[in-house]
């Protein structure tokens, strides 16, 4: 249904919409940070185009698998939720079985790509894939689903560092912890829109569990933690003023989104979720990478 007579370009754009490809802007900049950390601070490692391309492919394949699987698994809920009823699967634009096939293909491509990176990335790719796919089940039994999503996206900086070096280090871990708490915090804000729906369907989320006002407090605390990890990374990495300028902007964007969303007014949730966080991620990454390159 919905595929007959559709041009290849239109079909391609439908899948980009299915996986919300524009939201790659959240984790991808932190992967670039992890990559730059490896080539500038790790001994005996330098910039290589093939490593960068492999990291980019891993990010695209992993995220595509995770998002398409989420849409596949949630298709029945999406169909009865007014906010999501127009998504590709419930709207009949993409068949459910095709979305599942898309998930499988991207999962295989992700694992195959890690094989060409190093053995550590290959073996850990199964763990990473399990985490990002498992997230889609979590709202069926725990309000901590936001944290699981954060864990999934937090793998980007440490994964990129591991892809170049083959080992772990504290500095990329601090950036990963910042991503974890940042993502969990803004996913709570996003979930505010479905608080009533989640309760009616017995789905789990922080807003559904403790209410909108308390959920916003939890989100603020998580974003405070994210800022603290960014500060800690600055000290551990002995970054210069360029980094601290980016860190200040990052903290300002985290603060700004909480000024946009109030318990009595959720009209700006999408602005806070997409625009503010996307800008925070990209600008912070640019300042961090420049700081590393001119250090």
pLDDT on residue 10: 77
In a domain? residue 228: yes
In a domain? residue 4: no
Task: Give the contacts of 216 (CB within 8 A, at least 6 positions apart).
Answer: 188, 189, 192, 258, 261, 262, 263
In a domain? residue 55: yes
What's the whole-number mean pLDDT along residues 238-256? Answer: 97
User: For all residues of the chain together, what is the average pLDDT?
Assistant: 93
- Its domain, for residue 232, covers 23-294
In a domain? residue 266: yes
Let me know: does 27 contact 150? Beta carbons within 8 Å: no
In a domain? residue 109: yes
pLDDT on residue 252: 97
Global confidence as pTM: 0.93
Distance, CA of 290 to CA of 273 (rounded, Å) = 26
Task: Give the contacts of 30 (CB within 8 A, at least 6 positions apart).
Answer: 153, 156, 157, 175, 176, 179, 281, 285
pLDDT on residue 239: 96
For 253-284, the pLDDT digits (tens) are 999 999 999 999 998 998 888 889 999 999 99
For 163-221, the pLDDT digits (tens) are 999 999 999 999 999 999 999 999 999 999 999 999 999 999 999 999 999 999 999 99
Higher pLDDT, residue 7 or 35: 35
Mean pLDDT lowest among 13-17, 101-105, 144-148, 207-211: 13-17
Residue keyed to tokens 């407090």: 217
Distance, CA of 126 to CA of 130 (rounded, Å) = 6
Task: Give the contacts of 12 (CB within 8 A, at least 6 positions apart).
Answer: none
In a domain? residue 278: yes
Mean pLDDT lowest among 68-72, 98-102, 266-270, 278-282: 266-270
pLDDT on residue 8: 76
In a domain? residue 255: yes
How many domains does the structure of the chain reveal? 1
Long-range contacts, stretch 18-24, CB < 8 angstroms, 24+ apart:
18/67, 18/68, 18/71, 18/87, 18/88, 18/89, 18/94, 18/99, 18/102, 19/63, 19/64, 19/67, 19/68, 19/71, 20/67, 21/64, 22/274, 23/274, 23/278, 24/59, 24/60, 24/63
**pLDDT confidence tier of residue 43, bands split at 50, 70 and 90:** confident
CATH code of the domain in which 259 resides = 1.10.357.140
In a domain? residue 186: yes
């Amino acid at each position: 249904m919905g595929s007959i007579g559709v041009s290849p370009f239109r079909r391609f754009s439908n899948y980009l919409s299915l996986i919300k490809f524009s939201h790659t802007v959240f984790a991808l900049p932190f992967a670039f940070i992890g990559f730059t950390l490896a080539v500038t601070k790790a001994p005996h490692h330098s910039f290589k185009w093939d490593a960068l391309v492999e990291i980019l492919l891993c990010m695209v394949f992993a995220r595509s698998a995770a998002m398409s699987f989420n849409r596949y698994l949630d298709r029945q809920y999406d169909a009865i939720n007014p906010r999501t009823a127009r998504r590709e699967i419930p709207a009949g634009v993409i068949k459910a079985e095709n979305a599942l096939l898309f998930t499988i293909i991207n999962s295989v491509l992700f694992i195959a790509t890690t094989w060409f990176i190093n053995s550590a990335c290959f073996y850990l790719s199964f763990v990473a894939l399990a985490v990002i796919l498992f997230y889609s089940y979590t709202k069926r039994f725990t309000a901590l689903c936001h944290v699981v999503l954060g864990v999934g996206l937090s793998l980007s900086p440490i994964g990129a560092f591991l892809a170049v070096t083959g080992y772990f280090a504290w500095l990329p871990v601090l950036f990963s912890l910042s991503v974890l708490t940042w993502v969990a915090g803004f996913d709570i804000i996003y979930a505010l829109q479905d608080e009533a729906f989640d309760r009616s369907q017995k789905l789990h989320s922080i807003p559904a569990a403790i209410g909108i006002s308390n959920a916003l407090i939890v989100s603020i605390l998580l974003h405070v933690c994210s800022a603290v990890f960014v500060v800690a990374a600055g000290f551990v990495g002995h970054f210069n003023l360029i980094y601290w300028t980016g860190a200040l902007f990052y903290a300002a964007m985290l603060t700004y989104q909480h000024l946009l969303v109030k318990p009595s007014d959720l009209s700006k949730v999408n602005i806070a979720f997409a625009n503010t966080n996307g800008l925070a991620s990209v600008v912070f990454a640019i300042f961090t990478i420049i700081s590393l390159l001119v250090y």
